[in-house]
Amino acid sequence: MLKISKNQVESNIDKSQFKSFKVLGKQPAKQITRVLQVAFIVSIAIMFLPWTQNIRAKGYLTAFRPDKRPQTLQSAIPGRIEKWYVQEGDFVQKGDTILHISEIKEEYFDSLLVERTAGQVQAKEDAIVSYRDKADALRKQIDALDQTRRNKIEQAKNYLIQAKLKVQTDSIEIDAARTRLQVATDQFERVKSLYQQGLTPLNEFEARNMRFQEAQARWVAAQNNLLASRNMVINAEVELVTLENEYQEKMAKARSDLYSSLSMLYAGEGDLNKLSNQLSNYAFRSGLYWVLAPQDGYITRAAKTGIGELIKEGEEIVSIMPGNIDLAVEMYIRPIDLPLVRPGNKVRFLFDGWPAVVFSGWPNMSFGTFGGKVAIIDNFANDEGMYRMLVIPDPQDTPWPEALRVGSGAQGIALLQDVPIWYEFWRQLNGFPPDYYTTENFQKAVKGTAKKDKPSK
């Protein structure tokens, strides 16, 4: 007691009735003081011991690669289960048949649907060949008509030139006949005048009259020949136009037949493509009657059982667990802890079913924990506002147990900065976040960036 009050009560207390006074009375005061001093010194020393800051989060085991995670098999088409080839727990290899289904849609009931569609494709291909041959024949016919037209036109043009030359010849001939007629007329008139005067004999007069009549006949014949030549020119021009129109009509009809053939050819090619597409779809659909294993793994659960049970398109049939997976732990951390964790950070795990003694601040003194390393951190939060990260085994630490299975629970302890215990107490009392943990590579990158950003003198 401090004995600072004016009203003392020490005399009113019977110390013999209290066990504590008896014990204190027997112990020397120096020993008690020494014990308290040692305890204080040990406490101070403990406050300077290193403490590893950490973040705790729950997670579960999964596969690191998405293609190695448990998956469900669905049927791409509706059908009826005909036969199972596996049972739950069996190990299957990629391509092994799991079950066989039959068709339930009436348009696919024909067992020879693929063969009959292939026959239709072949028939359409033959028809296309015929259309193509017909088009080639029409092209040759058009070329032949065009060549004949050119020859006929050239012949008609030559005939027209000949007719025009004949007109020129007849025109010259009619001029000559006119000249001869004029000469014959003048001679006849002179002889006639002399005959009337009795100066010329009758036979001379008759000879000149005959020559005059012959000149007139030649003049009329020349006129007839000129008219005939002009008619020949007109006929040649008409023939030229007629030939041009005739062969244009023939070639137009041949081109029309060609375009009809090409139209049928293109329509046939379109039908062929459609039939080929149907054939490919039928052949591919026939392969979907057998549900195959997409990869090596174990059959875990059958959602559909029995024989004759109907399944819908895209409906789950069976689950498969891939083999030879690379385990990882899927953990979720709070947004407040997200800036503290980076890829490469160390994590300690307590797996469900494995006993462990854990000192969260002293991971080296813990027993039964396994090491991991942060591999991936999502850039967006889930529906619950947590960020997912995948942690893979640490190759420099104890290997994870082989008996671990996907879906098992795990308690993760993300290791952060090493600080003294007194600093951790002070941080916890003030509610400050843990210190950032940076890997050696990250520190080198930060230092290198700082050197680059430093201005040169």
Let me know if residue 121 belongs to a domain: yes
Tens of pLDDT along 287-327?
888 889 888 888 888 888 778 888 888 888 888 888 788 88
How many whole angstroms separate alpha carbon 218 and alpha carbon 231?
Answer: 20
DSSP letters, 300-316, are EEESS-SSS-EE-TT-E
Are residues 340 and 390 both part of a single domain?
yes
Beta bridge partners of 374: 391
Are residues 214 and 277 both part of a single domain?
yes
Contacting residues for 191 by C-beta, under 8 A, at least 6 apart: 200, 204, 205, 208, 209
How many whole angstroms separate alpha carbon 201 and alpha carbon 192?
Answer: 10
How many whole angstroms separate alpha carbon 148 and alpha carbon 203?
Answer: 64
User: Which of residues 287, 313, 344 is at a domain's end?
Assistant: 287
Tens of pLDDT along 324-362?
888 889 988 888 777 777 888 888 887 887 765 555 555
Are residues 371 and 283 both part of a single domain?
no
Tokens at residue 349, please?
Answer: 């795990």
Let me know if residue 352 belongs to a domain: yes
User: Which of residues 287, 311, 337 is at a domain's end?
Assistant: 287
How many whole angstroms separate alpha carbon 399 and alpha carbon 394?
Answer: 8
Are residues 262 and 183 both part of a single domain?
yes
CB-CB contact of 393 with 371 (8 Å): yes
The pTM is what?
A: 0.54
Are residues 62 and 87 both part of a single domain?
no
Tokens at residue 161, please?
Answer: 């030139």
Residue 161's pLDDT is what? 86
Tokens at residue 377, please?
Answer: 């951190």
DSSP letters, 265-285, are HHHHHHHHHHHHHHHHHHHHH
Are residues 128 and 255 both part of a single domain?
yes
User: Which of residues 322, 344, 374 is at a domain's end?
Assistant: 322
Let me know if residue 82 belongs to a domain: yes
Let me know if residue 377 belongs to a domain: yes
Quickly state the pLDDT bin for 176 (edges 50, 70, 90). Answer: confident
Q: What is the CATH number for 160?
A: 1.10.287.620
**Span of 135-139, 194-198, 209-213 with lowest mean pLDDT:** 194-198
Are residues 334 and 296 both part of a single domain?
no
Let me know if residue 41 belongs to a domain: no
Are residues 201 and 151 both part of a single domain?
yes
Q: What is the CATH number for 305?
A: 2.40.50.100
Which residue, 123, 75, 84, 81, is CA-closest to 102?
Answer: 81
Beta bridge partners of 320: 71, 299
Residue 168's pLDDT is what? 84
Which residue, 19, 259, 281, 247, is CA-closest to 143?
Answer: 247
Let me know if residue 26 belongs to a domain: no
Residue 354 carries which side chain, given as an amino acid letter? W
H or E element, residue 50: strand 50-63
Are residues 399 and 299 both part of a single domain?
no
Question: What residue numbers bound the domain in which 201 lies?
Answer: 113-287
Q: What is the CATH number for 376?
A: 2.40.30.170
Q: Which residue has the higher pLDDT, 163 or 2?
A: 163
How many whole angstroms separate alpha carbon 346 and alpha carbon 393?
Answer: 10
Measured from the Cβ of residue 294, the count of other Cβ atoms closer than 10 Å reads 15
114-126 mean pLDDT: 90
Number of domains in the chain: 3
Measured from the Cβ of residue 278, the count of other Cβ atoms closer than 10 Å reads 15
How many whole angstroms separate alpha carbon 281 and alpha carbon 73?
Answer: 21
Compute the mean pLDDT over every residue in the chain, rounded to the nearest whole number: 78
Residue 449 in this model has a pLDDT that exceeds 60: no
Are residues 300 and 369 both part of a single domain?
no
Are residues 340 and 446 both part of a single domain?
yes
Are residues 87 and 163 both part of a single domain?
no
Which residue, 311, 314, 282, 291, is CA-closest to 104?
Answer: 311
Let me know if residue 20 belongs to a domain: no
Let me know if residue 79 belongs to a domain: yes
How many whole angstroms separate alpha carbon 116 and alpha carbon 122?
Answer: 10
